[in-house]
Structure 1
Amino acid sequence: MVQQYQSPVRVYKHPFALVMMAYERRFPTCPQIPVFVGCEIMLDEESENGAIRTTERRCKLNVEAPYILKKIIGVDFVYFIQRNVLDRRNNVLEIEAYNESFATRVTVIEKCRYFIHPENAEWTCFEQTASLDIKNFFGFENSMEKLAMKQYAQNIAKGKEIIEFFINELKEEGITYVSPWKDQQEGSSEEEKKNVVENNELYSDKELCNADSKLPSNREMQLSSDYIERYLGKLDMMQESKLVQLRHSIEELRGSSVPGYATLLRFLRATEFSVEKAREMLTQSLHWRKKHQIDKLLDEYEMPQVIKEYFPGGWHHFDKDGRPLYILRLGQMDVKGLLKSIGEDELLLLSLHICEEGLHLMEDATTVWGHPVSQWTLLIDLEGLNMRHLWRPGIKALLRIIEIVEANYPETMGRVLIIRAPRCFPILWTLISTFINENTRKKFIFYCGTDYQEQGSGGLSEYINQEFIPEFLGGSSETYIMEGGVVPKNLYKVDLEGTSGEHEHSLYHSISLSRGQTHHVSIESNDPGAVLTWDFDVMRHNVVFTVLHKSQNSENGAISEIPELAIGGDHEVVAAKELKDNYVKVEPSIVCHDGESIQGTHIMQDTGTYILQWQNQEDQTEFLPSISSHKAQLMYFYETLPSAHYRGSMMSLQSAISGRSEASSSLSR
């Protein structure tokens, strides 16, 4: 198995030239890295004008391994080749290292890069990637893999400290500034020299500068170690690497529409830092958010009057860790009355609205407290809970809410405080606990009777500051949470037995395609120049997407322009023969892969019938039948925009196809 590592960007708040001088002091030996015994220079050459310096070193490393293992492999040292290319003109140092020892059994490749910070010319960035592949190592493959990654992690942790150590050493010697490299062979006019001086003064006076106009590269800044510490919390080396890998993986599928790092980290933690599992879970969640327009929930949600008057829950200050605190007086809630007056879907919407509020409050708390806040605390007061709360439709609604929240808001719950639990609570807990993620279950803290009133360790005051404990729990803090109570029957509107339980407040249509099946949507257009737009997510398997148009003069000739189509199943809107005989492609077919989000447009220059077609990629030809029976699943939305609204801007619309769509198109040609 190949072990991969990819670092976040580490920032040295020192100019590039000074960092390079400090870097050179790591050779030929470096006491701060004991395993680095020494090195010999095999190549050291510069270009004619000195802009490029290439250095190759043969590095000697001590093998940190148990004595018996050293005896078995027969060596105390291993050798690596390191090749450095310093581009002084563009202020970039590229480093590549690979193992010379045991090269047929083990492959180790490390690549590093120093470069100027894209937003601050006085700072230097560093990033690295590495891969370890142990193919055959005397039967000690697993042991060597663990040993190598442990040693590598220790060296990476020391890396930044070492550069800072040598920079401080230079300062003690009186070296605080190193002049940037200049090409001595190129003459400069007085005006050019004046511009250089002015630019250098600008970099010195301003901490931040515009990368596009003043730096050799407009490289977008990636995740930095400083950002991790400030906004995400302490992560070890491999956790940082997994976070970077997940970000890149989601970017490949969704282009620029990628969630923030805090969200990515939550899904990684929920899957024990498995990039593949986190990617799958997050992709499904993003599909769900898009289908149900969750991003608009905070702005567009209108709370029903029944909720305002009878729902006993709300946000209330913070806990001692700075987490937003939500209080739910479940024992005072008329579950049956709420469900019969607003229905299960509306109760779910309320729960999702609370979760979305929690995400925003956590972001605000991170800013206010100056340390990462990635979870919120839930306090559930069960006083008044009785057997009426165990009403079957109410339990069903609760389980559905738990299932959806667990899948789409993982690792947002930091602590759940259950207080004043009555005798019937164990029955309720038995019913719902199996549906709660194990990691979340561990965060539940239970209080029976008046245990929560104990001062210090063991009571609520251990987790919530005394001044924030609500009045109804014996504290002094006023709350603005409704007391609940019985919902009047004259407000009942919903026949629970007749509800489907499906939450379908969505503009998107969902379809499933078996092998060989296609799905067609027919659009009639009598408006030359109108714009047809589409937006769809592939949630499972691969599909081929095509846009067709009915030719006005295609009685017999158009079929020669249409490639053979694998049309089958019962999903098509138009007959297969008519589609072949009378329709031509107006957009090239693209293969859309599992997880991709595709957006595109087509200018309907001609009137007539247009067809959007999705086809299960399997069984594309009768000569190569597929042995798989996987169904393809997708959700889609389409819209026709009148030509009057877009005259003069057709080209910009036509080019608005996503990058992933274009990439898929190129693969399918």
Structure 2
Amino acid sequence: MSVTDARPFRPTQSTFFQQSASEGEKYKRPDCNGNLKLKFQVDRGYDPIKAEPAIQQLRNAVADCKLIDTSEEYLVKWLIVQDFDVDRAERMLRQSLEWRRVSGADDILDSYAPSDVLRQYFSMGHIGNDRFGCPVFVCGLGRMDIKGLLSSLTKKDFYNYLTWMFETFSKTIQEVNNKRTGYRTTRQTLVFDLDQFSMMNLTTKPAGAVMNGGGAIVAMIKYYLSNYPDSFRRIFVINAPSIFPWVFGFIKPLLAQSDVPKIKIFNSNKKEWTSALLEEIDDEQLPTYYGGNMTDPDGDPKCPRKLNMGGQVPHSFYLRKNPPIAKDYMETLNISAGVGGKKKLKFEVVVPHSAIRWEFMTDGGDIGFRVLNKNAEEIVPLNRVDSHIIMEEGQVTCNEPGQYVFQFDNTYSYLRKKKVHYHIVVDLPDNSQ
């Protein structure tokens, strides 16, 4: 019996927007060319004829923006989660585009690689595709040592990884689409296994960690829903403990109303959740451990080549074991706490396209940091960085000459003073004489 009520699963014969005029072929199996012939087609959840005017209004409203996707399928996602309120959908989309600019999401798959601790102990893997042609990802959340992971990551690492993971979801969806013709999916199916789930992992905040476990999970959900709307076809939560309805009470307000019916939650009754998984995922696309017949080449039923199951993070990964050390060439700033706890450093850039490089660390805790151009516009947005745990390094290209300002901000700390050890240099472009 499921822990919370969910709308019964009823396969429909309706396709997505571009195929709305007709039912099309009822697909069954992959053909020799890799075209996934689907057993069922995805319920689009809206009337495409009525949606068309709203899509066009939204397209016109964001005509000044550079979108990552200009298709109707992409635009309608923002409308669905905002109940087809064009103004709200536009505002949400613009905020997400700004987030993409600041986070570097467009290039994250090329510019970032997960650290060893994330690759080995963050449980998430693409195991196959469901009967609707959507990629299936499994997360062994219950077995993840969230406390250990947070002790091994800076805030920057954590958010970079989330961005990388969600962009990987999008890339996988695109790869699935590229392997077939006709039907085009825009969603994925997610399975969260809460076996061995512990409230201690959610409420304990390790010394110097990014946040507590509950905060990390909420941040992950907010990040996903704010920037990848209407991106899951189904979420299965299996092996949910008795406290999960209480936990879900905190998560549910974050969800769009259109997303809530897509979530199915089950307790530890394996027969029940296995039956639900196999109703929507073929057995050859599901590890034996979860009720299918897929194994690794060596027969492992958990398929660790596709999915790592988390586990305890060794203390050797903890950042507190190796705090940063100030270098001889660094200068020092003493920054008071509370009101007045700001210091600015100004650098003059003469040659266009010069780069300003920085490295700094702090004694006494984290510090707010941002970079502004000559027009007082943020080119590196204000963010609290964990420079007391790991050396903060970065650079920015200055396309225009002028004065650039580095600002260190400790106004949020009422009692603790900070000492900043820094080294900042201006590098001329390679083609300058």
Q: How high is the TM-score relative to the length of structure 1?
A: 0.40
Paired residue secondary structure (1:347)? helix
Whole-Å Cα distance in 2 between the matches of residues 641 and 233 of structure 1? Answer: 53
Q: Which amino acid aligns with 2:173?
A: M
Report if the CA contact (8 A) 2:266-2:272 is conserved: no
Is it true that 1:417 corresponds to 2:236 in the alignment? yes
Q: CA offset at residue 294 of structure 1?
A: 1.1
Is it true that 1:408 corresponds to 2:218 in the alignment? no
* 2:103 corresponding residue in structure 1: 292
Q: Which amino acid aligns with 1:282?
A: L
Q: Which amino acid aligns with 1:468?
A: Q
State which of 259, 263, 277 in structure 1 corresponds to 2:69.
259
Q: Higher RCO, 1 or 2 (CA under 8 Å, sep at least 6)?
A: 2
* 1:470 corresponding residue in structure 2: 287
Whole-Å Cα distance in 2 between the matches of residues 358 and 644 of structure 1? Answer: 37
Whole-Å Cα distance in 2 between the matches of residues 359 and 644 of structure 1? Answer: 36
Whole-Å Cα distance in 2 between the matches of residues 335 and 291 of structure 1? Answer: 26
Report if the CA contact (8 A) 1:233-1:372 is conserved: no
Unaligned runs of 5+ in 1: 1-9, 11-156, 158-231, 496-519, 534-545, 549-570, 573-599, 605-609, 614-639, 648-669
Q: CA offset at residue 444 of structure 1?
A: 0.9
CA displacement 1:607-639 (0-9 Å, x = unmatched): xxx4699xxxxxxxxxxxxxxxxxxxxxxxxxx
Q: Which aligned pairs between 1:25-44 and structure 2 lie closer than 5 A?
A: none
Whole-Å Cα distance in 2 between the matches of residues 447 and 334 of structure 1? Answer: 22
Q: Which aligned pairs between 1:218-367 and structure 2 lie closer than 5 A?
A: 236-251=48-63, 253-254=64-65, 256=66, 259-261=69-71, 262-367=73-178
Unaligned runs of 5+ in 2: 1-17, 22-43, 205-211, 296-302, 322-343, 356-372, 378-397, 406-425
Q: Sort the Cα spacing of 1:523 and 1:330 in 2 relative to 1 into closer, same or farther, 3 A.
A: closer
Whole-Å Cα distance in 2 between the matches of residues 522 and 454 of structure 1? Answer: 60
Report if the CA contact (8 A) 2:266-2:273 is conserved: no
Q: Which aligned pairs between 1:43-192 and structure 2 lie closer than 5 A?
A: none
Report if the CA contact (8 A) 1:233-1:371 is conserved: no
Q: Which amino acid aligns with 1:404?
A: Y
Report if the CA contact (8 A) 1:327-1:378 is conserved: yes
Q: Sort the Cα spacing of 1:241 and 1:526 in 2 relative to 1 into closer, same or farther, 3 A.
A: closer
* 1:543 corresponding residue in structure 2: none
Q: Sort the Cα spacing of 1:531 and 1:406 in 2 relative to 1 into closer, same or farther, 3 A.
A: closer
Q: Sort the Cα spacing of 1:611 and 1:394 in 2 relative to 1 into closer, same or farther, 3 A.
A: closer
State which of 255, 263, 266 in structure 2 corresponds to 1:444.
263
CA displacement 1:115-136 (0-9 Å, x = unmatched): xxxxxxxxxxxxxxxxxxxxxx
CA displacement 1:383-410 (0-9 Å, x = unmatched): 1113323324100111122122211111
Q: CA offset at residue 523 of structure 1?
A: 6.5
CA RMSD between the two structures = 3.8
Paired residue secondary structure (2:258)? helix
Whole-Å Cα distance in 2 between the matches of residues 384 and 467 of structure 1? Answer: 26
* 2:317 corresponding residue in structure 1: 491
Q: CA offset at residue 642 of structure 1?
A: 5.6
Whole-Å Cα distance in 2 between the matches of residues 245 and 428 of structure 1? Answer: 38
CA displacement 1:177-199 (0-9 Å, x = unmatched): xxxxxxxxxxxxxxxxxxxxxxx
Q: CA offset at residue 644 of structure 1?
A: 7.7
Q: Which amino acid aligns with 1:408?
A: N
Q: How high is the TM-score relative to the length of structure 2?
A: 0.60
Whole-Å Cα distance in 2 between the matches of residues 430 and 345 of structure 1? Answer: 28
Paired residue secondary structure (2:264)? strand
Q: Which amino acid aligns with 1:292?
A: S
Paired residue secondary structure (2:234)? strand
Q: CA offset at residue 430 of structure 1?
A: 2.7
Q: Which amino acid aligns with 1:283?
A: R
Whole-Å Cα distance in 1 between the matches of residues 155 and 347 of structure 2? Answer: 35
Whole-Å Cα distance in 1 between the matches of residues 349 and 158 of structure 2? Answer: 41
Q: Which amino acid aligns with 1:446?
A: I
Report if the CA contact (8 A) 1:250-1:258 is conserved: no
Give the length in aligned residue pairs: 299
Q: Sort the Cα spacing of 1:473 and 1:299 in 2 relative to 1 into closer, same or farther, 3 A.
A: same
Whole-Å Cα distance in 2 between the matches of residues 286 and 367 of structure 1? Answer: 25
Report if the CA contact (8 A) 2:81-2:256 is conserved: no
Q: Which amino acid aligns with 1:382?
A: L
Report if the CA contact (8 A) 1:343-1:494 is conserved: no
Report if the CA contact (8 A) 2:238-2:273 is conserved: no
Q: CA offset at residue 452 of structure 1?
A: 4.5
* 1:582 corresponding residue in structure 2: none
CA displacement 1:62-108 (0-9 Å, x = unmatched): xxxxxxxxxxxxxxxxxxxxxxxxxxxxxxxxxxxxxxxxxxxxxxx
